[in-house]
Amino acid sequence: MRLNEAESVVESLLFVSGDAVSIDVIAKSVELDRATARAVVLSLSKRYEEEKRGIRIIEIDNSFQMCSAPENFQYLSNVLKTEKKNGLSQALLETLAIIAYKQPVTKAQIEEIRGVNSDHAVNRLIEKKLVTECGKSDAPGRPVLFGTTNDFLRFFGFKSIKDIGPLPDGKTIETSEIEKYDLN
């Protein structure tokens, strides 16, 4: 398959899916290996940006999604009457940061760090689909574990949870625990 044909298939696949598509699915659709399929997607994405097109292809956790160009938001919102997403309060941001850096984490662990009850904050983050239940702890009572979602990555513009950077004290995130959970 030639490059322009592969790009055409990828473009159609991303357009009709409306959501992030894994590199494995893309590779299968264009009948290429993962590395070559990734190169095709990145080539197409680069061209959209260079030509200042109205759509972009973003990477989210080794998947790709087609979306509108961010610089066109104000024009689209005028026509579509879209409301801006409600921002996140300080309490929600604190709770989300704890979950992002410490995941998987229980409410008790979040509350220990914050020093206040976090039921409302965790529930609001679940409603906003930035956080999800990702299992149960082995601790007594088997409390629920929470982690971030792909919507979290999308909302903050990260490709992967590893992109959030180190903790302020210089420690890094241990992803071995994170990767065993499906956080979609």
Domain residue ranges of the chain, discontinuous segments joined by +: 3-78, 90-178
Fold classification of 90-178 (topology level) = Arc Repressor Mutant, subunit A (1.10.10)
The burial class, CB within 10 Å (0-12 / 13-18 / 19+), for 161 is buried
Per-residue pLDDT tens over the stretch 27-85: 999 999 999 999 999 999 999 999 999 999 999 888 999 998 888 887 887 777 645 55
Task: Supply the DSSP symbol for 88.
Answer: -
Confidence label for 184 from pLDDT (cuts 50, 70 and 90)? very low
Contact predicate 57/45, CB 8 Å = yes
CATH architecture for the domain at 3-78: Orthogonal Bundle (1.10)
Confidence label for 176 from pLDDT (cuts 50, 70 and 90)? very low
Per-residue pLDDT tens over the stretch 123-161: 999 999 999 999 999 989 899 999 999 989 888 888 888
Question: Using CA atoms, how far apart are residues 137 and 140, in angstroms rounded to an integer?
Answer: 8
Question: Using CA atoms, how far apart are residues 178 and 38, in angstroms rounded to an integer?
Answer: 24
Total-model pTM: 0.59
